[in-house]
Amino acid sequence: MALSVDIEKKLGNFHLKVKFEVENEVLAILGASGCGKSMTLKCIAGIERPDKGRIILDGVTLFDSEKKIDLPPQKRKVGYLFQQYALFPNMTVEQNIACGVREKERKAEAVAEMLHLMELEGLEKKRPHQISGGQQQRVALARILINAPEVLLLDEPFSALDTHLRFHLERKVQEILGRFGKTVLLVSHDRDEAFRLSDSIAVMEQGRVETVGRKKEIFADPKTRSGALLTGYKNISRAKIVDDTHVYAVDWDLTLTVPRATVGVEYMGIRMHDIRIAKGMEENTVICKVIREIEEPFSYTVLLAPAGKKAAMPLGVQLDKSLWESIREEEIAVCLPPEALLLLKA
Amino acid sequence: MDWFPLYNSLRIAGISTVITFFTGIFAAYYIAKAPRVLKGCLDVVLTLPLVLPPTVVGYLLLRILGPKRMVGAWFLSTFGLKLTMTWWSAIFATTVVTFPLMYRTARGAFEAFDETLAYAGQTLGLSNSYIFWRIRMPYCKQGILAGTVLAFARALGEYGATSMIAGYTPGRTATISTTVYQLWRTNNDALAFRWVMVNLAISAVVLLAVNLLEKKKTGGRSVV
């Protein structure tokens, strides 16, 4: 069930140019809102039409601008889970699931099976607005999966749900995706969600896929500035190479030691929890003034300005609650371990 | 009391409502999707009968359908059919006058439709006509019903264009509105009053129906 996408589409000033291939795994498309994630899914489903390019699903050409092929959405065997689930409000749960069944003879049987599988028994006669968000999500999935699509597209599947429900419902969806076993595209702007549910991650920025790779590799080395932002790097500065092992962080006004400075580096970053209180004179130890402390539920985020420097941006450090409460001072020495410093392209 | 005017009014209003129901929805569906400039132009043309004086509409209709005019003359020579001064001539008048009501209410309802439902239907393999009749129409039901009732009410009350194209022949083309005018003109005040009461009763029932429909969560915006 390989899906290969290589399309371009212009929309006013926005230029979508996407290319990737995926086979029998969950690929998360991670990007900020408005980067073209949903548009990509709509092109694959046939709701939007790309200006040029090719979409091939399991050997079948869904779209090819050169060969003038553009299959209607009805013939694409693509399951699309919309952000708000798009259940038909005038139909019951049962009718919603049954309405698209292709094999009419097996309809009743297939619907009953789906209701059981999705834990929706007892809700057959309810209308979509009478059931919970999680149940709505499962009705929408049931109605898609009943026709055994070749690929599943999930557009921000949890954004319509309350935060405290998400984790639990995410496990159910994970279970369903596991059973599905074919190609799944998951669009998300939530890095944790993307990490938990996917095998691979494609980072998207302004209509382009910047990096694609196994999720662990992407999180360990996002390669680009937008990738770093999306995978949770809060401290990012412009960078200039000094020599083989030293880089100057422009926005922090600091020269820092790195394991190896590579050519083409334009930014550098470090995770907030990777910065720690310095023990003695370690490498990359910086004396900082505390600008602000922000209390989080289980930790403190402390904003620091390197002392005696002209930093354009503060350094954020995440510290354990009890630790910060015991040392709380106006000036502290922190260490930016060289191995935790990430060098990035633009 | 001769009940013919009531019967005639109801059948004219009924038939023209059926016609505007389909043409209005058809126009609304396609124009809601049209590019902006075309939409603006068509909108003006199709809404015009709503704001024109009915006598102007009547005049224009006679200009086209009159026995010596283009369409009218052709029908007369080809089928031997006179398009004016029969009971069904009034249907031309009421259809044209009520069309904008149906069209505008239906368009408002269609524009409020959540298009992702149609997309969802397509990806589920549902045909476009299934999506239209089983998903889009039920979703826009309230707006469309309100438009239909308004169109019916307006058709029932049509006077100006109707009297010009169908005239007033007792027992043949008389409607409630033309009868009231005729009775008042001939000083038959008592009978005129009774017809006025009949008309008031029907209109009140119709407006009550509109209000009940609009009180529920409606997909469309009302135009009046």
Domain ranges of chain B: 4-215
Tokens of A263: 């050519």
Tokens of B125: 């393999």
A14–chain B Cβ distance below 8 A for any pair: no
Residues of chain B with pLDDT under 50: 217-224
For residue A327, give how far its alpha carbon lies from the nearest alpha carbon of chain B (Å): 55
Chain B residues touching residue A46 (CB < 8 angstroms): 122-123
pLDDT of residue B218: 44
Chain A stretch 116-155, residues whose beta carbon is closer than 8 A to a beta carbon of chain B: 143-144, 147
The interface predicted TM-score (ipTM) is: 0.81
pLDDT of residue B223: 41
pLDDT 10s per residue in chain A (346 long)?
A: 799 999 999 988 899 999 999 999 999 999 888 889 999 999 999 999 999 999 999 999 999 999 999 999 999 999 999 999 999 999 999 999 999 888 888 889 999 999 999 999 999 999 999 999 999 999 999 999 999 999 999 999 998 888 888 888 899 899 999 999 999 999 998 888 999 999 999 999 889 988 888 999 888 888 888 888 888 899 999 999 999 899 999 999 999 999 988 888 999 999 999 999 998 888 899 999 999 999 999 899 999 999 988 889 999 999 999 999 998 889 999 999 999 999 998 7
Q: In angstroms, rounded to a whole number, what is the distance separating the alpha carbons of residues A255 and A249?
A: 6
CATH superfamily of A2-222: P-loop containing nucleotide triphosphate hydrolases (3.40.50.300)
pLDDT of residue B21: 96
Domain ranges of chain A: 2-222, 235-344
pLDDT of residue B222: 41
pLDDT of residue A318: 93
Give the one of A46, A80, A90 whose C-beta lies nearest to B139's C-beta.
A90
Paired strand residues for A106: none
pLDDT of residue B176: 94
Q: In angstroms, rounded to a whole number, what is the distance separating the alpha carbons of residues B46 and A12?
A: 31
Tokens of A88: 């038909």
Amino acid present at A157: P
Closest CA to B119 of B111, B104, B101, B131: B131
pLDDT of residue A161: 86
Q: Are B39 and B79 in contact (CB under 8 A)?
A: no
Chain A residues touching residue B117 (CB < 8 angstroms): 86, 88
Q: In angstroms, rounded to a whole number, what is the distance separating the alpha carbons of residues A175 and B68?
A: 77
Q: In angstroms, rounded to a whole number, what is the distance separating the alpha carbons of residues A160 and A158?
A: 5
Tell if the CB–CB gap between A73 and B116 is shorter than 8 Å.
no
Taking CA A93 as the corner, what is the angle to CA A88 and CA A99, rounded to the nearest 5 degrees? 60
**CATH number 1.10.3720.10 is the correct assignment for the domain at B4-215:** yes
Q: Are A279 and A302 in contact (CB under 8 A)?
A: no
For residue A43, give how far its alpha carbon lies from the nearest alpha carbon of chain B (Å): 12
The two counts, helices (H) then strands (E), for chain A are 9, 21
pLDDT of residue B216: 59
Give the one of B122, B126, B141 whose C-beta lies nearest to A99's C-beta.
B126
Paired strand residues for A153: A80, A185
For residue A32, give how far its alpha carbon lies from the nearest alpha carbon of chain B (Å): 21
